[in-house]
């Protein structure tokens, strides 16, 4: 009776040992790591500094001269911000749903609508409870680009010297290097969709200036 390591699977009339199948999966990790690093525009030295893995080990991983281990793949997955199964080319589970894990910051609930795959677009549904109000003095800036679309409530957007109110169905887009802040315009809950990412296809701003008292 064959041992556990001698089991085989039959595919299309061919017998493929499980060891051969595993070797095939592992041999594809190197090219996948190299392609991912180049896609991110990183050098081996930069990746080494971020992961603590030596340049020579990273080079041998990419060339197939070093067998990938969990100890090596975990920090690489973390730095590249991709799921571990994406690095090893695991087969898809067939479930396309995004299992969101909401989190709360400063009275706003964030519901992720996309997986964190690195430098691509990220989408969130934001629900503000209306209890925290912000003013022009609370504006902040950072790298990136943002789109937002109001689902319900009245959203007040401070964008540099602009003071705007967006109502359901209205959208705004802006370079996040411009100081900005948004809050409930009337102290009531607000729901909106936001997308963060590199500058690309844009949604035209459709908002009315806030009324002056």
Domain boundaries, the chain: 10-88, 103-209
Please tell me if the domain spanning 10-88 has the same topology as the one spanning 103-209: no
Cα–Cα distances in Å, from 60 out to 66, 148, 165? 5, 44, 55
Using the structure block, give the residue that is written with the tokens 């609508």: 113
| Residue range 103-209 in CATH 2.60.120.10 | yes
**Under a CB-based contact definition with an 8 Å cutoff, are residues 164 and 156 in contact?**
yes
Give the residue-averaged pLDDT of 101-113: 80
- On the question of pLDDT at 33 being above 90, the answer is no
pLDDT tier, 184 (very low <50, low <70, confident <90, very high otherwise)? very high
Q: How far apart are CA 154 and CA 167, in angstroms?
A: 5
Q: Determine which of 65-69, 153-157, 207-211 has the lowest per-residue pLDDT on average.
A: 207-211
pLDDT at 203 over 60: no
The pTM of the whole model exceeds 0.85: no
Residue whose tokens read 């008292």: 213
Q: Which CATH architecture has domain 10-88?
A: Orthogonal Bundle (1.10)
């Amino acid at each position: 009776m064959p041992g556990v390591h001698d089991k085989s699977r039959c595919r299309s009339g061919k017998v493929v040992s499980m060891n051969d199948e595993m070797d095939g999966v592992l041999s594809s990790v190197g090219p996948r790591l190299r392609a991912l690093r180049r896609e991110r525009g990183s050098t081996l030295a930069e990746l080494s500094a971020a992961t603590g893995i030596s340049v020579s080990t990273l080079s041998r991983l990419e060339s197939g001269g070093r067998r990938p281990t969990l100890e090596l793949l975990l920090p690489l997955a973390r730095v590249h911000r991709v799921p571990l199964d994406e690095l090893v080319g695991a087969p898809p589970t067939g479930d396309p749903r995004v299992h969101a894990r909401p989190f709360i910051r400063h009275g706003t609930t964030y519901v992720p609508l996309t997986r964190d795959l690195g430098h691509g677009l990220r989408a969130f549904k934001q629900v503000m409870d209306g209890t925290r109000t912000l003013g022009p003095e609370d504006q902040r800036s950072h790298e990136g680009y943002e789109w937002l679309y109001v689902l319900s409530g009245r959203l007040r957007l401070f964008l540099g010297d602009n003071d705007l109110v967006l109502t359901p169905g209205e959208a705004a887009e802006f370079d996040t290097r411009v100081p900005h802040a948004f809050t409930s315009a009337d102290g009531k809950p607000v729901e909106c969709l936001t997308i963060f990412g590199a500058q690309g296809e844009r949604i035209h701003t459709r908002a009315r200036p806030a009324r002056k008292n």
